[in-house]
Structure 1
Amino acid sequence: MKINPYQSIQSNPYRKQVEKQASTSETKMKKDEIQISKAALELQQSTKIDAARQEKVNELKEQIQSGNYKIDAQAIANKFYDYWNQ
């Protein structure tokens, strides 16, 4: 068996390729970008809230803060069931 010192483990081409990819990926980091549609911007800017809806929200907040709000697990399960079986 002949041992060739020129093809040693230190000159592994795979390792060089991985190191090259790691160094280039660090320098070219992509930034996140968000795009909001015109309809979403209009909804975001409009602050009109129904009085009845606001009253219901306030009632729920009061019940939660006082500790009187009870979750109806059966009603939630029924809503999930109806949604997924439509």
Structure 2
Amino acid sequence: MKVNPYQSIQQNVYKKQVDKVGKDANSNKKQDAVQISREALQMQQETQDPERMKKVEALKEQIESGKYKVDPKAVAATFYDYWNQ
């Protein structure tokens, strides 16, 4: 039996197999999908409060226009009250 290290590098069967599997795996990738039932969509529609939606839209407009200002003391007080209940 003749051992030739140069030939083993060129004819690496394992590497060829790994390359083949890697190419096949990339071509058959599946994408994630989310399915929401009709009942869940209906529940979501029912729980939306019109007044709350108006508030959210008003806040979005203020943020986009740059007029929304955060009061850091009020935020800190809210966190303090929450954590010290």
Q: TM-score range by the shorter chain?
A: 0.5 to 0.7
Residue in structure 2 matched with residue 72 of structure 1 by the alignment: 71
Residue in structure 1 matched with residue 55 of structure 2 by the alignment: 56
Residue in structure 2 matched with residue 24 of structure 1 by the alignment: 24
Offset, 1:9: 0.3
Question: Which AA in structure 2 matches 1:71?
Answer: V
Identity %: 48
Q: Which moved more, 1:68-77 or 1:11-20?
A: 68-77
Cα 1:34–1:5 shift into 2, 3 Å = same
> If the length of structure 1 is used for normalisation, what is the TM-score?
0.54
- Taking the aligned partners of 1:78 and 1:48, their CA distance within structure 2 comes to 25
Q: What's the C-alpha RMSD, in Å, of the aligned pairs?
A: 4.0
- Taking the aligned partners of 2:8 and 2:38, their CA distance within structure 1 comes to 61
Unaligned runs of 5+ in 1: none
Query: 2:15 aligned with 1:43, yes or no?
Result: no
Offset, 1:25: 0.8
3-state SS of 1:69 partner: coil
Unaligned runs of 5+ in 2: none
Offset, 1:10: 0.9
